[in-house]
Structure 1
Amino acid sequence: MKTIKMISMALLFGLFMSVSTNVHAQDPIKVASNVYKKVILENEKLRVMQVELAPGEIVPWHSHPDHFAYALTDGKLEITEKGKPAVIADIKEGEAMYLTATTHMAKNIGENTLKMIVTELKAAKTKH
């Protein structure tokens, strides 16, 4: 069950982009500023974002590097990962999830505004 929950959450974060036929990698801040409310912290190692997805709201196709998310509220998302069927994710307040790099989109199919903190991990830069 935990594996299914983790897979569902991974799909969920990819969903946070608008429904679009264009599945090219895009920055969630650029394509879904209505959902990705603000960057809380960004440096050479990570980017931390505040996410709020109202009932019925859609996040278009977007991409994330490896990342993790922390749910501030309960919610229910329909997540579609590139090349895969949609998955329903029941998210519980206080739940933390680690997700590998993905391209996805999402829709809040629940009755509550889903609030999360998403932290993307940046690739290490080599020094020359």
Structure 2
Amino acid sequence: MNSDDPTVTDPDLYKVIFENDRVRVLEYRDRPGDKTHLHRHPDSVMYTLTSFRRQISAGERSVDVEIPAGTVRWVGAQEHSGQNIGDTQTHSIFVELKEPAPSPRDGVLGPQT
């Protein structure tokens, strides 16, 4: 496990709930005001179990994201930190792919449709 793995940087917020040689599934839970440390995700699929508002930051860039419960989004490989800027708890599932992407998508930040 790398030092930029979210289960290492924020073990109180990220928990591995399944893993095999092709995918790793993380459960993420936080409360309003909670922040994550800088960490890295491979290409992933995110399923939001609760609605949330958060700010995702990477270097000098940041984006505010509001996603309703039940949304499924592609999250391209990226390094970022985040903060729950809403007034609700966050509960999400990430399915991280262990296979490399066919080509890098530099410059994309936050979840994609």
How many residues get paired?
99
Is 1:121 paired with 2:100? no
TM-score of the two chains, using structure 1 as the length reference: 0.73
Gaps of 5+ in 2: 101-113
Counting aligned pairs with the same residue, the percent is: 33
Whichever residue aligns with residue 74 of structure 1, its letter is: S
Evaluate the alpha carbon distance shift between residue 84 and residue 67 of structure 1 in structure 2; reply closer, same or farther with a 3 A threshold.
farther
Match of 2:38, SS state, is strand
CA RMSD in angstroms, aligned pairs only: 1.6
Deviation at 1:25, TM superposition (A): 6.7
Given that 1:25 and 1:61 are in contact with CA atoms closer than 8 Å, whether structure 2 keeps it comes out as no
- The correspondence of residues 81-100 of structure 1 with structure 2, limited to 5 A, is 81=58, 83-100=59-76
TM-score of the two chains, using structure 2 as the length reference: 0.82
Residues 7-63 of structure 1 show CA distances to partners (whole Å, capped at 9, x for unaligned) of xxxxxxxxxxxxxxxxx9700000101110x21110000000110011000011000
Question: Deviation above 2 Å: which 4+ runs of structure 1?
Answer: none
Gaps of 5+ in 1: 1-23
Deviation at 1:100, TM superposition (A): 1.0
Larger relative helix fraction: 1
- The correspondence of residues 42-121 of structure 1 with structure 2, limited to 5 A, is 42-81=19-58, 83-121=59-97
Please give the alpha-carbon distance, in whole angstroms, between the structure 2 residues aligned to 1:65 and 1:101: 4
Given that 1:25 and 1:103 are in contact with CA atoms closer than 8 Å, whether structure 2 keeps it comes out as no
Q: What is the match of residue 32 of structure 1?
A: 10
